[in-house]
Amino acid sequence: MTTTRPQVTTEIPAVPLTTEGYSVLHQMMRFRWPSWRALAAAEKSAIAQEASAALSAMEKHSPGQSALYSLIGHKGDLMLIHFRESFADLNQAELQIANLRLSDYLEPTTSYLSIVELGLYDSTLKIYKELTDQGIEPHSDQWKAEIECKLNRHREAMRPRLYPEIPSNRYACFYPMDRRRGEEKNWYKLPIEERARQMNDHGLVGRRYAGEVRQIITGSIGFDDWEWGVDLFADDPLVFKKLIYEMRFDEVSAVYALFGQFYVGVRVPAASLETLLEGKLP
């Protein structure tokens, strides 16, 4: 007697699988220089030393770290990047900064909340095909259990990428982005196979810059105003321009990408904060 697999009656899901790691918060701030200059030298030194000690501990925090950057341009003076295990931990980092006396001289200009994300387009197609070939109905309890089992294995294999240290490079570039939807082009209406092909081509460009730049992608759908955040870290800021310009010419960027504001900063070790507040880049 021949056993026939049950027929799957539902189309495979359009949503690609993802794995998530650290929660991430970017804080951009303007420094109130006129008020700061009005302080006595001894008071400025005491405030700076208190903040430096707190930020030094946050730099070494585990799991997850914080890093300080001196922003270039009019969009702010300082940028803090926090990697933590949860949103609650990020909020605690915010509160630590807010309770420093230095915060009296900091004016938030914007912030960005997201979570480290690895997109799994290629793996998604393979997993979905494998499960549908077995006759497992999409979205069923068995489907969900099988996918979670496979994602758990992926999380363990990709743990260093999901829970990275903040790179120590001299420069950082952060920007948010969306995929286009509406008008004549809509990324979310493309078949998952076509999105996978385009994302693979897009990734090939980034891999050509391995060793020159470190890229960390974070997902922010449901968390902030854009859909993803991108952090680039390098010792030569020119590589930011070259990488992003080259990516503009691949299909997924040329047709479907929308970009927010760019923030570029110089890394400032917490121990050098007082030097920075004296108006000198360490």
Ordered DSSP codes for 222-251: TTSSSSEEEEEEESSTHHHHHHHHHHTTSH
CA angle (105, 114, 20) in 5-degree steps: 145
d(CA 91, CA 96): 9
Q: Is 126 helix (H, G, I), strand (E, B) or coil?
A: helix
Read off the tokens for 86: 């949860």
Give the amino acid at 79: M
Read off the tokens for 36: 């700061």
Q: What is the largest CA-CA distance in the chain?
A: 92
**175 tagged catalytic:** yes
Query: 60, 71 in Cβ contact below 8 A?
Result: no
242 contacts: CB under 8 Å, gap ≥ 6:
209
Given the residues 22, 105, 175, 256, the one annotated as active site: 175
What are the catalytic residues?
175
